[in-house]
Each structure stands twice: as C-alpha cells, then as structure tokens.
Homo-oligomer: A and B are copies of this chain.
Amino acid sequence: MTEANSKRRTRGGGGAARRAERTAVSVETAKYIERNIPNFEILTPEALEIIEANAEKVLAEIGVNFVNNPVALERWREAGAEIDGERVRIPEGLARKLCETAPSSFVQHARNPARNVEIGGKNLVLAPVYGPPFVRDAEGGRRYATMADFRKFVKLGYMSKWLHHSGGTVCEPTDVPVNKRHLDMLLAHMTLSDKPFMGSVTEPSRAQDSVEMCEILFGKEFVQQNTVMTSLINVNSPLTFDDVMMGALEVYAKNNQACIVSPFIVGGAMAPVSVAGTLTQVLAEVMAGIAYSQLIKPGAPVIFGAFVTSIDMNSGAPTFGTPEASQILYGAGQLARRMGLPFRSGGGLCASKLPDAQAAYETTNTLNAALLGGVNFMLHACGWLEGGLVSSFEKFVMDADQLGVLHKLAQGVSVDEDAQAMGAIAEVGPGGHYLGCEHTQENFKTAFWRSEVFDYKPFETWDEEGARDTQTLASNRVARLLETYQQPALDPAIQAALEAYVAAKKESMPDAFM
C-alpha cells in the first residue's frame, strides 16, 4: 500500500452528509474476496524464465510504438530507451526496474467507506461488464443501449451482494453524445450507488472531468491523497500505445488514480496463436505500459491487465471460455505475481448471443480460472454477453449470483474442532442421518452457499409453476431488484454540485457523436 493510500479519509461534508449516511437503507454487500486457498500455477519456473527473458528481448530488439506522443518519446529517451521515430526500444531490465515503484496493493476508496476495496495480494474485487453498445433482456430483445439502461445496471450492481464495485461503462449510453456520455455515466455511479467506480478513458479531457467530479464527491484534498478511481487503459496490441489511452493514463497517474494497463488480445490476430508467444507479448506490453506510468509518477497505482481470448479460425469470431484463454490467464497471473503487481483478468466472458447454456459453460470456465489464477480485479464479472457486444440484464443477475460460489470456495477449508465434526459422526453412527443432529442444527445456516436465482424445487412443483428456465427466473429477479431499489443517501449539497458540474460541462461544448 502506498503511503497516501494508507491514510484515513479526512474529507468534510458536514452534518447533512453524516445524517444522510446514518439514514441510508442498508444493502448487503459482501467484503471483497480474501483468498484462503492457493493459486493454480500452470507454468514451471523454467517456463516463466523463458517467457520473461523473451519479453525483455521483445522490448529491447523489437520495441513498442508510442503513437502521436512526442512527450512520451522524450520521457522514454530520458529514462534510457532508444528512440527511432515512434518506436521505443527499452534496454533489457529497464522496464522491469521502472515497474518496481508501483505498489503491490492499493486501496480504492468508495464514498461509503464500508465499500472500500483493497486491490492486490490475495484479494479479488469483482466489477461488472464494461463497454457493450447493446443491451438485451427477455422482454425487449437486443437493442442499442441508452442512459436509462445504464442507470438500471448501476442499480442492479448496487443491489448485488457479491459485487464489490460499480464498474465503469456498464453499457454505452448511445442516446447521449459521445463527448458528454462520461458525465452522465459518472453521475449515475456517484449518486445511484455507493460502491467504488471507474473513470473515463476515451479522451484525456474526460479523464480530467472524472477527477474533477471525484473532487466534488470526495473533497479535493482527499482525491489527491487517495485512490478513488480505477480506470481501464487498453494497449493497442501488438505493442502499440496510442495517444488517447496514454493521455488518459497520464491524467490518472499524475492524480494518483489507478490504471489497469491491459493488452486487449484476440490470440491469432493481435498475438501469436501459441500460449507462450501470447504471454511473452502480454508481458512486454504490460511492462512497457506500467513502466511508463511510473515515469509519469513513481508510485502511481497500477494493475497488470490481461484480456485475452482466441479466435475461431473458421469464422474469425472471438471465442471465450476456451482452454487456451484459461492457460493464458493462469500464466499471466504467475507473471504478475513475480512482478509484485495486482492482476486483472477473467470475467463472465462468453460468445453466446443468449443467456443460455453456451453462455454459462463459457462464463463458468472463465470465472473458475480467474479465481484459481489469482486475479485481483475482475472486470466483466457479470452481465457480459455476445463477445462483449451486449450487456444482458438476465445474465447480470445470473452471473452475479454465481459470484457467491467464488466467495465460498475462496474461504478454503476449516479444520477447527467444530468443522471436524467428530461429535456428530459419533452421535449419528452407521446408518443414521445428520438432518436433526446438534452439529447440523448449529451450522446449517452458513454451511452451504445457496443460489438466489436457480430452481431447487422438486420437479412436480417446478412444473406446476410453469417449468421456468434460468432466463425466466433471472428476468423475474431483475424486475424484483429494480422495484425494491432505494438510492443510497448522499449529502444533497454534493448531489447538487455534481449535477451543476455536469450541466455546465454539457453546456460548454457542442454535441459530438463520433
């Protein structure tokens, strides 16, 4: 943890804020996952060393491009890299050395301190789907996403027990001009939820707006001393860093806000078809990106990202939940841990167009790999459909329910005296049953994770109730959650200041739709 992040929140807000917090309707949110189980390590130490040596060679001999960014090139030159046009060749060892100032773990603060998350170590923080231009639900089918959809997803995220983070672009509100969307999206996260959230990255100026809105919400001094946003900086794989993403990263790093430096790779297209080759490229890209963040501000919080899928060589479409993607996730996790950096990967990823069995097979493969592969920050943990083109309302609550499985599995196995249950085994004896025994009565309420979505009823009851499939059950749950949603309390003065900021900003520029 950085020095700044270890300080307690000191912002003001006054009596109104404190009263608002006291009267807030309580929504149960589980603490982020603190793993009490080992990580699954698929690569041998020898394999890891080969990949690490190759990544250094890639940086030194091939290099990376920093596009339209003369200031970045100058920073790299000063740090000791060799500059050739937009190409940056980084001598062996330099990038890794620069990454050493990045913290191994950091706290992202939420406006409700009970929702703060610590990203790194053995922890796993879960955030919802990010980026889809479409939404789908059982009633309305597939359609372009709107700001009204966006608000619904933020509400569902707030209501989801196993979701620790409100996320960022839970869907693209296509009914709002591109250059103003980020304002409405941030306002929604800040006012409709009290969980931590992500900032805008689509323009450096929008990153700056995100910082300014956080200064209203948290107080200016608090923001400069603490991390209150974690934002997604995608690398243009292979080996290319564009000025828009780097510009956003610069704003966030300077303001001590966290960035995920994340190669976005469809294997076979943006990286080699082999797992080892892809891992080499991912490592080279992450090292270059994180090293650059530390050139901007040593100690700026960052996350080693790896969004990796493979391509279907028949159709050219990206695929999800495949064994190669799991192998890359496991390997990337090991590489991140060897660098002492928080790790982002995984999610409820799937290629299916519907929240059906295909979606669930693909999603569950990825969720399991992410838990066992040591992921610290999981974007897309719920709601992702159709290769990220669609945010699905039903899949949001289906996946969010499954995240409970990860929480319980991560607790590991207790062998304390109560868990040993030797008294119960003796009490029941051969041929008996445990339903009524004392140990069962004392422990059954917390013994087993239970789905809030699935049907566990006997066949006859289920059949009489309409033989509903998972999508139908989830659809009912979405409606129920949105009906019972209550906005978490917020100091009215802060709410008004945020709304005024958004209105003024919108007023200051013409609409843009590109």
Contacts and interface: CB of A to CB of B under 8 A. Distances in A.
A315 to B, nearest CB: 5
B51 A415 contact: yes
Contacts of A61: 426
A409 B331 CA distance: 12
A480 interface: no
Given A238-B432, A352-B470, A277 B448 contact: no
A459 interface: yes
A362 B449 CA distance: 13
Interface in A420-465: 420-422, 424-426, 428-435, 439-440, 443-445, 447-451, 453-459, 462-463
A323 interface: yes
A409 B280 contact: no
B38 A42 contact: yes
Nearest to A450: B312
A62 interface: yes
Contact of A422 (B54, B238, B408, B459): B54
Contacts of A239: 429-431
Interface in A319-343: 319, 321-324, 326-327, 331
Contacts of A310: 447-448
Contacts of A432: 238
Interface residues of A, number: 126
A456 B40 contact: no
A315 B456 contact: yes
A114 interface: no
Nearest to A361: B360
A353 to B, nearest CB: 6
A398 interface: yes
Interface stretch (A164-172, A266-274, A506-514): A266-274
Contact of A434 (B62, B272, B356): B272
A126 interface: no
B37 A428 contact: no
Interface centre among A321, A357, A361, A422 (most CB of B within 10 A): A357
A504 interface: no
Given A448-B310, A454-B358, A459-B386, A413 B50 contact: no
A427 to B, nearest CB: 10
A61 B426 CA distance: 9
A493 B210 CA distance: 81
Contacts of A323: 405-409, 449
Contacts of A322: 405, 408, 448-449
A46 to B, nearest CB: 8
Contacts of A447: 267-268, 273-274, 310, 313, 324
A62 B361 CA distance: 43
A294 interface: no
A434 to B, nearest CB: 6
Interface string A341-383: 0000000000111111111111111001100100000000000
Interface of A: 37-38, 40-43, 46-47, 50-51, 54, 57-58, 61-65, 87, 142, 236, 238-240, 267-277, 279-281, 310-315, 317, 319, 321-324, 326-327, 331, 351-365, 368-369, 372, 386, 389, 395, 398, 402, 405-409, 412-415, 418-422, 424-426, 428-435, 439-440, 443-445, 447-451, 453-459, 462-463, 467, 469-471, 473-474
Given A37-B42, A272-B434, A358-B455, 9 more contacts: A64-B430, A240-B431, A267-B448, A277-B419, A313-B447, A354-B467, A357-B395, A357-B398, A360-B364
